[in-house]
Structure 1
Amino acid sequence: MDHGTLEREIHIDATPDTVFNVVSNPEHVRDWWPDEADYPVEPGGAGHISFGDARVGFTVVDAIPPKLFSFRWTHAEGETATEGNSFLVVFELEPTATGTRLRMTETGFRERGWDEAKIAAEYADHVSGWDHFLPRIPATAAKAGATR
């Protein structure tokens, strides 16, 4: 297995505007992914996300409503996110007749300088994580769409 790029695609019964808000706005991101999220939703916006006591850096790369949201994460807080110290996640949103197709890719496993065993372990951990968290987005989008 290559362990270079993790890819997922889901359909969400909500508009691209609503889905963009759900995958980018820390208020909504906390509803489906981390326990805590604090960052400005703008290119270069730096902050953090937390899972329990594990707090990691989070830096917005692109925010192009309602089409694309990307960020780097897992770099040490206070460090500038780079290809060699963080993962890059890209959410691409495409309108469909019944909602939005959300494509997620995550890269950066090979760029961290880890040995093959560490790359495989991190990749497997992220596969498990995204497979758990991404299916929570449709319910959050339904709730966010209803409150608009």
Structure 2
Amino acid sequence: MEFGTLERRIHIDASPDVVFEVISRPEHIEEWWADEASLGEPAPGVVGELVWGDREHVATMTVVDADPPRRFSFRWVAPEGEPAAPGNSLLVTFELSPSRGGTLLLLTETGFREKGWEIAVLEEQYRDHENGWDAFLPRLASYAGGLVPR
């Protein structure tokens, strides 16, 4: 396995406008992903924080691109105390496109090899993120779909 780019596709029964809000606003992120989220206006350079558990895991995220309702991307998993940049962090990109009355979401996460981790750490981190997205993306779809009046 290459452990370079993680990619997932999922159909969501909600418009790209709704899905963009769900992936970029803290009040929605807390419903499907992190236990706590803080993030200002989703715009390039804005820094936020994701928290799981009782602050057992805290991640800083830096918005790279926000093009509603088509794309939202951020960097995270940078070394503590360092700003997220290519080579020291992972890049998560959500691409949204209208599909079958809803949205096709394409998630890509890159930068695993560029972090310079030893192979065992690289494999562990890749699998951890793979398992995480496999658990959280269905929650995102269910939550976003539930926001649409029936």
TM-score bracket, shorter-length normalisation:
over 0.9
> Counterpart of 2:71 in structure 1: which amino acid?
L
The answer to whether the 8 Å contact 1:34/1:49 transfers is: yes
- Separation in structure 1 between the aligned mates of residue 144 and residue 73 of structure 2, nearest angstrom: 18
Unaligned runs of 5+ in 2: none
- Separation in structure 2 between the aligned mates of residue 7 and residue 99 of structure 1, nearest angstrom: 20
- Separation in structure 1 between the aligned mates of residue 148 and residue 74 of structure 2, nearest angstrom: 23
C-alpha change, 1:143 and 1:77, in structure 2 (3 Å) is farther
2:105 matched to which residue of 1?
Answer: 102
Q: Which runs of structure 2 are paired with 1:1-148 in the superposition (5 Å)?
A: 1-40=1-40, 41-52=42-53, 53-76=56-79, 78-146=81-149
2:148 alignment partner, SS class? helix
Q: Describe the superposition over 1:98-143 as per-residue Cα deviations: whole angstroms up to 9, x where unpaired.
A: 2000000001110111111111111011111000000001221123
Task: State the percentage of identical aligned residues.
Answer: 53
Unaligned runs of 5+ in 1: none
- Separation in structure 1 between the aligned mates of residue 4 and residue 133 of structure 2, nearest angstrom: 15
The answer to whether the 8 Å contact 1:87/1:108 transfers is: yes
TM superposition score normalised by structure 2: 0.92
CA RMSD of aligned residues (A): 1.3
The answer to whether the 8 Å contact 1:10/1:101 transfers is: yes
- How far off its partner does 1:75 sit? 2.1
TM superposition score normalised by structure 1: 0.93
Residue range with higher mean Cα deviation, 3-12 or 78-87:
78-87
- How far off its partner does 1:76 sit? 4.4
